[in-house]
Structure 1
Amino acid sequence: MSPCFDSSAGPKGDNIYEWRSTILGPPGSVYEGGVFFLDIAFTPDYPFKPPKPVTDIAEQTPSPRQPGTTEDAVRAIGTAGSEVTFRTRIYHCNINSQGVICLDILKDNWSPALTISKVLLSICSLLTDCNPADPLVGSIATQYLTNRAEHDRIAKQWTKRYAT
């Protein structure tokens, strides 16, 4: 499956509910030259329910070790719902440090007609054109809007450090 020439996705081993995806940083973007890995976890109700960001289920999935924390939800997500998350660190206003992606089609604009191929295409697009109007990391969105040169410098630095 290749929604844009720079991505792929498929099952991890024999488990059809756990997939791994690879997205190459889009040419001309601050992520160019980077290789980004994503995990995709499904539940049996997919495609009728969207893959959910971890923050949507953090309150529903506390763990005995660290109740109610987002980090805890990351560990518990496998049994709580579907998700699409970055495993490679990335400096992006719509992707937080846990890899959670803020993308409208993973929230209110979900449709069962959306395939993983279309989701990956939307994520590729997000790497080219972020959405600072709907940020997951407000400080990065503010920097993007007020000091674009510094934002781009840091994003390129992170890409070189974590994705190459």
Structure 2
Amino acid sequence: MSNAGKRIGKELNECTTDPPAGCKVSLKHEDNLHEWDVYLEAPSNSVYAGGHFHLTLSLPKDYPFKPPVLSFVTKIWHPNVTNDGKGSMCLGMLRPDAWKPPNKIKAVLEMVRHLLLEPNVEDPVEAQVADQYKRDKPAFDKQVKEWVRKYAQKKGAE
């Protein structure tokens, strides 16, 4: 097994035996350490409460020297996640110029869950969502709750 494979196996074990709060992690396919399924339960004290989100995590062949790629499979109304059907996520530490090899996937997942509590509206990928958050928080909250009801109920997330 390559060094990357050993590192990924160790991190997978860490994320499955002692997962971050509200997270469940598994391999997408048993024979591929580079593709993970992540199920994330929104924090109960967030506007996303009650939401269960499916994400995919892809690890490049040269991980940990290149960052993982995270995408929301479940649609979400969030300034840091694209609404284009790809669910691409904007997370500072995942930028190639910001990623450091000592970073761990567990910390990435904790940060993703924290973004459900506090979106980063100063660095959005969806400007209209960030503007709504800043200008009309009640409308933002209403839209989030509608999308959680429509797309992120437990039955639709797994």
State the TM-score, normalizing by the size of structure 1.
0.78
Q: Which runs of 5+ in 2 are unaligned?
A: 1-14, 154-158
Map of 2:71 onto structure 1: 85
SS at match of 1:21: strand
Cα distance in structure 2, aligned partners of 1:130 and 1:3: 22
CA RMSD of aligned residues (A): 1.1
Cα distance in structure 1, aligned partners of 2:31 and 2:52: 24
SS at match of 1:89: coil
Shift of 1:109: 2.3
Map of 2:43 onto structure 1: 26
Cα distance in structure 2, aligned partners of 1:128 and 1:14: 34
Identity, % of aligned positions: 37
Moved more, 92-101 or 2-11: 2-11
| 1:11 alignment partner, one of 27, 51, 64 | 27
Alignment of 1:16-95 (within 5 A): 16-51=33-68, 83-95=69-81
Letter in structure 1 aligned against 2:56: D
Letter in structure 1 aligned against 2:45: G
Map of 2:104 onto structure 1: 115
Map of 2:93 onto structure 1: 105
Q: Deviations over 1:85-128 (max 9, x none)?
A: 01000000000122111110011321111111111001011111
Runs of 4+ in 1 over 6 A off after TM superposition: none
Question: Number of paired residues?
Answer: 133
Map of 1:67 onto structure 2: none
SS at match of 1:29: coil
Q: Deviations over 1:14-36 (max 9, x none)?
A: 21111100110111111111110
Shift of 1:3: 4.7
* Contact 1:3/1:120 (8 A) holds in 2: no
Q: Which runs of 5+ in 1 are unaligned?
A: 52-82
Cα distance in structure 2, aligned partners of 1:5 and 1:160: 22
